[in-house]
Amino acid sequence: MTFDFCGEPQIRELDSDLEVEQVKASSKTLENIVAIDAQVLGYRRSIDLEFFMNNQPTFLFRRRGRLVAYAFGCAGNSARPAAALDPEDLPALLRQIEYNAYQTGLDSLWLAIPAVAKSAVSWALTSGYKIDFFYEVLVLLAKNPLMNLDRFIITQSGFVW
């Protein structure tokens, strides 16, 4: 199950030892992002990630020089995907996404967060984000039943009702 959260982007302080860097699209950046995605999701999706990298701000997160997470910033009023090797790092990724949304002048930000991503759900709720009344049941077709969705922010397709 996935929750859609909506809130007003703000500048927030977050105590984290992660170093964040906004990077340009490149084959090396793509290689790094694909490697994290493969560890978190259990498969590679280079074409999708290359598309995001070329259309959204791209952030890499390091701990003591070691790459541990990535996040894509805002395109429109939503941002995704993001993944971290440690689920407790998701709030730092969400704070960066929110900061990017604030910088671009967005008055609202939508985030799709898997219910099992407890640190991310907690961050959203304590940061004033509201759960959209329309919840989603996420169906993923994958070979690996051990996907680490507790450390992942989902890519949501845009659609119109």
Q: Domain holding 124: CATH number?
A: 3.40.630.30
What are the tens digits of pLDDT across the range 88-118?
999 999 999 999 999 999 999 988 898 899 9
Determine, yes or no, domain membership for 161.
no
Percent of the chain topping pLDDT 90? 59
State yes or no: pLDDT of 140 exceeds 80.
Answer: no
Determine, yes or no, domain membership for 27.
yes
Average pLDDT over residues 25-44: 93
Question: What region, left, alpha or beta, does residue 42 occupy, with left being phi > 0 and alpha being psi -120 to 50 degrees?
Answer: left
Q: What is the pLDDT of residue 134?
A: 67
Determine, yes or no, domain membership for 159.
no
User: Who wins on pLDDT, 157 or 22?
Assistant: 22
For the chain, strand residue ranges (E) read 2-7, 19-23, 58-63, 66-72, 74-75, 78-79, 82-84, 109-114, 130-131, 152-153
Which residues span the domain enclosing 17? 2-153
Determine, yes or no, domain membership for 158.
no
Q: How many structural domains does the chain have? A: 1
What band does 145 get if pLDDT is binned at 50, 70 and 90? low
Determine, yes or no, domain membership for 120.
yes
